[in-house]
């Protein structure tokens, strides 16, 4: 079973829309498999998409999950863990799942979802405090960082593959997500801040090029290694939201070439942190989805379910061309094929 985490510590890389389209296309391609999507971003945008988007009342459906007898979300699961942070309490993991197809028929029926929840931000200080508790015996940090791993183990191999959407941060709940993953998908954009962000990502997750040796013993990577645990391997770097007409001499291309150079250096110096041995195997280029992506986001629809023609978005008609939809489908198919 592969556990893919979509993560970059920089916001605005199109991570959530990319996650949604990728998960939906992957599930459609592998209809005989069971897929679990876990939304560990407190904004819960991925969950709103799965539950219908703006037009399909995804926000209303999401709120209804919070109002059930047991909060059916990642926040509800964390809430269950807090009284027993260092040992697994007894409960049914299905209490925290929902089935998106019941709310949004455009989503494949073989996907289950642990919905995102803004309450996670409120829980952060408590979770971080628990992880730093000093007790004789258990490694309290590892026990807390393993909360999502514990949840996945409870599913007892009911799922063939798992996808996690994360927050653009390195907060304790993001570390909980990354500790559960064995494959990392890093979306980047054609700007210099993305280049810095991807350098930071390797420092934060793998402890590479830390600014000072004094940080090593406290780092996420070192703590997991000391516990004998594997770190998530970089599986794909997705150049996302590329400009449609990007010539070789543009500033965009210069930045993207710099990212390639950085990655090639890391492939040579730290080949063990990648699942690929050459950059061509691990890179995917995704053109900007433009209006097609905006409409898909509003309707909560994967590209494979979109139709060309007029789409009414909150009283405004928008035309979507078939060739644009096909371009979007092709881009996501390329990514899915590399998973």
CATH number, position 41: 3.40.50
Q: Flag whether 167 is in a domain.
A: yes
283 bridge partner residues:
237
Q: What are the pLDDT digits (tens) for 205-258? A: 998 877 766 677 778 999 999 999 999 999 999 987 665 445 444 666 777 788
Query: How confident is the model at residue 249, as a pLDDT?
Result: 46
Q: What are the pLDDT digits (tens) for 2-32? A: 999 999 887 777 789 999 999 999 999 999 9
Lowest mean pLDDT among 9-23, 30-44, 86-100: 9-23
Query: How confident is the model at residue 86, as a pLDDT?
Result: 93
Q: Flag whether 264 is in a domain.
A: no
Q: Flag whether 276 is in a domain.
A: no
Domain range enclosing 296: 2-184+240-249+289-338
pTM of the model: 0.93
Output b/e per residue, 73-91; b: 16+ Cβ within 10 A: bbbbbbbbbeeebbeeeee
Q: Flag whether 191 is in a domain.
A: no
- The C-alpha atoms of residue 100 and residue 98 are separated, in whole angstroms, by 6
- Residue 223: CB atoms within 10 A of its CB come to 18
Contact 116, 43 (CB under 8 A): yes
Contact 44, 115 (CB under 8 A): yes
Number of domains in the chain: 1
Inform me whether the pLDDT recorded for 310 exceeds 80.
yes
Inform me whether the pLDDT recorded for 297 exceeds 60.
yes
Q: Flag whether 224 is in a domain.
A: no
More confident residue, 263 or 213: 263
Q: Flag whether 210 is in a domain.
A: no
Q: What are the pLDDT digits (tens) for 134-152? A: 877 778 999 999 999 999 9
Query: How confident is the model at residue 252, as a pLDDT?
Result: 66
Q: Flag whether 65 is in a domain.
A: yes
293 Cβ contact list (under 8 Å, min separation 6): 17, 328
Q: Flag whether 180 is in a domain.
A: yes
Inform me whether the pLDDT recorded for 191 exceeds 80.
no
């Amino acid at each position: 079973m592969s556990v893919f985490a979509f993560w970059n510590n920089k916001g605005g890389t199109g991570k959530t829309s990319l996650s949604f389209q990728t998960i939906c296309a992957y599930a459609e391609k592998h209809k005989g498999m069971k897929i679990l999507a876990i939304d560990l971003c407190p904004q819960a945008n991925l969950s709103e998409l799965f539950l219908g988007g703006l037009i399909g009342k995804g926000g209303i459906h999401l709120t209804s999950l919070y109002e059930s007898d047991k909060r059916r979300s990642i926040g509800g699961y964390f809430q269950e863990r807090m009284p027993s942070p260092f040992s697994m309490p007894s409960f049914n993991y299905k209490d925290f799942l929902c089935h998106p197809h019941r709310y949004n028929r455009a989503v494949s029926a073989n996907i289950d979802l642990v919905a995102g929840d803004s309450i996670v931000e409120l829980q952060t200080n408590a979770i971080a405090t628990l992880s730093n508790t000093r007790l004789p015996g258990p490694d309290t940090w590892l026990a807390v960082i393993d909360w999502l791993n514990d949840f996945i183990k409870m599913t007892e191999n009911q799922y063939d593959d798992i996808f996690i959407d994360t927050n653009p941060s390195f907060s304790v709940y993001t570390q909980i997500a990354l500790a559960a993953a064995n494959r990392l998908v890093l979306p980047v954009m054609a700007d210099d801040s993305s280049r810095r962000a991807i350098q930071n990502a390797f420092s934060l997750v793998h402890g590479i090029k830390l600014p000072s040796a004094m940080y090593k013993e406290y780092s996420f990577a070192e703590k997991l290694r000391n516990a004998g645990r594997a770190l998530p391997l970089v599986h794909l770097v997705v150049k996302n939201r590329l400009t449609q007409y990007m010539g070789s001499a543009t500033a965009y291309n210069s930045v993207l070439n710099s990212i390639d150079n950085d990655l090639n250096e890391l492939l040579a110096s730290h080949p063990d942190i990648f699942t690929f041995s050459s950059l061509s195997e691990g890179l995917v280029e995704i053109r900007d989805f433009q209006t097609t992506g905006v409409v898909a986001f509003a309707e909560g629809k994967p590209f494979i379910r979109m139709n060309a023609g007029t789409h009414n978005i909150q009283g405004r008609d928008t035309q979507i061309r078939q060739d644009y939809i096909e371009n979007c489908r092709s881009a996501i198919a390329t990514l899915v094929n590399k998973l």
